């Protein structure tokens, strides 16, 4: 085989080089489609579609027409460094998408190349025509029951069907019906205005944050659970103006002051008949009278 190649190369150098290129090309083609899609599904699909419309981040169909390859590689490697570094396009995009951070993922250069190949190919087939856009599901109308279920699921009064951890162990929302929650992750009160229903739904279906992803890896949320949680988060967002942050500090101070006042009144009543003059006063008075 090797001697075969070298004789071909010696006799027809151009042909030999061409065959080698073709071989490598076909091997890459056969395997590249899969890993790129794999990387996309595992790391990006929670926030991006290719040709299906914007989710948390922009639709990536045709992104190669908007940006250079180097820009794309840099952005996927570390969007934060590009934004902080003052790249104008990255900053404009960050503003447009409500300053939602695209997490810096620990992808290898190879994986970034692969995922870009996949995005380009997928965008070419779906993005331009829009024919393969997923058919919109009829919008289900949320009921009071969905809201209550969502609230109970969020704070763990109701278990998840697949035993995932409660949201409140990591998150908090400002809502009078919910006791204070965890502070490991973001406060979620305003998340609905920030990401919209589609964004929140996408995140709950496939969390793009390593900590949260690990927590729900083998314990996915069901469709109903996601719907209820989104309903609850939407309501918490709409209602947030009416709910005060739970501030135990002020209440505690006030009840302390009131408690102390009540105790002082109680003590002074208890000692109303206390001796106000000196112990010897009565003896002294008697003595004075008798003389």
User: Which residues have a Cβ under 8 Å from the Cβ of 281 and sit 6 or more positions away?
Assistant: none
Q: Pick the binder of ligand HEC from 173, 181, 208, 231 (CB under 6 A).
A: 208
Q: Of 32, 57, 34, nearest to 45 (Cα)?
A: 57
Closest CB 247 distance from ligand HEC, rounded Å? 22
* Residue 212 makes contact with ligand HEC by CB under 6 A: yes
User: Which residues have a Cβ under 8 Å from the Cβ of 154 and sit 6 or more positions away?
Assistant: 166, 167, 168, 173, 178, 229, 232, 233
User: Which residues have a Cβ under 8 Å from the Cβ of 130 and sit 6 or more positions away?
Assistant: 51
Closest CB 78 distance from ligand HEC, rounded Å? 11
**Token match 């002074």: residue?**
268
CA-to-CA distance for 291 and 287, rounded, in angstroms? Answer: 6
Q: Which stretch binds ligand HEC (CB under 6 A): 1-9, 30-38, 41-49, 257-265?
A: 41-49
* Residue 63 makes contact with ligand HEC by CB under 6 A: yes
Q: Which stretch binds ligand HEC (CB under 6 A): 7-15, 16-24, 90-98, 248-256?
A: 90-98
b/e per residue, 273-290, with b = 16+ CB within 10 A? eeeeeeeeeeeeeeeeee
What is the total residue count of the chain?
291
> For residue 229, what is the enclosing H or E element?
helix 223-239
Q: By C-beta, is 46 or 127 nearer to ligand HEC?
A: 46
Q: Pick the binder of ligand HEC from 9, 64, 67, 240 (CB under 6 A).
A: 67
Q: Of 225, 206, 229, nearest to 217 (Cα)?
A: 206
* Residue 171 makes contact with ligand HEC by CB under 6 A: yes
* Residue 236 makes contact with ligand HEC by CB under 6 A: no
For ligand HEC, the binding residues in 93-112 under the rule CB under 6 A are 93-94, 97, 100, 102-103, 105, 107
Q: Pick the binder of ligand HEC from 36, 229, 235, 236 (CB under 6 A).
A: 229
Q: Of 138, 139, 167, 135, nearest to 154 (Cα)?
A: 167
Closest CB 264 distance from ligand HEC, rounded Å? 47
Helices (H) and strands (E) in the chain, counts: 13, 0
Q: By C-beta, is 107 or 117 nearer to ligand HEC?
A: 107
Q: Which stretch binds ligand HEC (CB under 6 A): 7-15, 138-146, 203-211, 242-250?
A: 203-211
* Residue 167 makes contact with ligand HEC by CB under 6 A: yes
Q: Of 62, 53, 57, 55, nearest to 132 (Cα)?
A: 53
By CB under 6 A, the count of residues binding ligand HEC is 46
Give the residues lining the site for ligand HEC (CB under 6 A): 43-44, 46-48, 56-58, 60, 63, 66-67, 72, 75-76, 79, 93-94, 97, 100, 102-103, 105, 107, 115, 165, 167, 169-171, 184-186, 188, 191, 194, 200, 203-204, 208-209, 211-212, 215, 221, 229
């Amino acid at each position: 085989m090797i001697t075969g190649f070298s004789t071909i190369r010696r006799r027809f150098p151009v042909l030999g080089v061409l065959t080698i290129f073709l071989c490598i090309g076909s091997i890459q083609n056969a395997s590249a489609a899969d890993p790129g899609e794999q990387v996309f599904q595992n790391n990006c699909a929670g926030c991006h579609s290719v040709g299906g419309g914007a989710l948390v981040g922009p639709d990536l169909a045709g992104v190669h027409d908007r940006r250079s390859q180097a820009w794309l590689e840099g952005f996927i490697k570390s969007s934060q460094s590009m934004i902080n570094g003052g790249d104008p396009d990255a900053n404009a995009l960050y503003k447009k998408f409500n300053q939602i951070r695209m997490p810096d993922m620990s992808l290898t250069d190879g994986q970034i190349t692969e995922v870009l190949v996949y995005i380009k190919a997928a965008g070419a087939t779906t993005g331009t025509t829009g024919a393969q856009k997923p058919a919109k599901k009829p919008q289900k109308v949320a009921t009071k029951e969905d809201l209550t279920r969502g609230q109970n699921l969020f704070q763990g009064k109701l278990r998840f069907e697949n035993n995932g951890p409660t949201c409140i162990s990591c998150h908090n929302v400002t809502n009078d019906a919910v006791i204070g929650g965890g502070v490991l992750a973001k406060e979620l009160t305003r998340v609905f205005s920030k990401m919209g229903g589609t964004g929140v739904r996408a995140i709950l279906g496939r969390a793009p944050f390593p900590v949260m992803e690990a927590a729900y890896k083998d314990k996915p949320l069901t469709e109903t659970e996601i719907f209820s949680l989104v309903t609850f988060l939407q309501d918490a967002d709409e209602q947030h103006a009416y709910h005060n942050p739970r501030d135990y500090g002020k209440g505690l101070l006030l009840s302390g002051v009131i408690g102390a006042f009540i105790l002082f009144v109680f003590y002074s009543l208890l000692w109303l008949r206390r001796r106000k003059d000196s112990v010897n006063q009565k003896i002294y008075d008697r003595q004075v009278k008798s003389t």
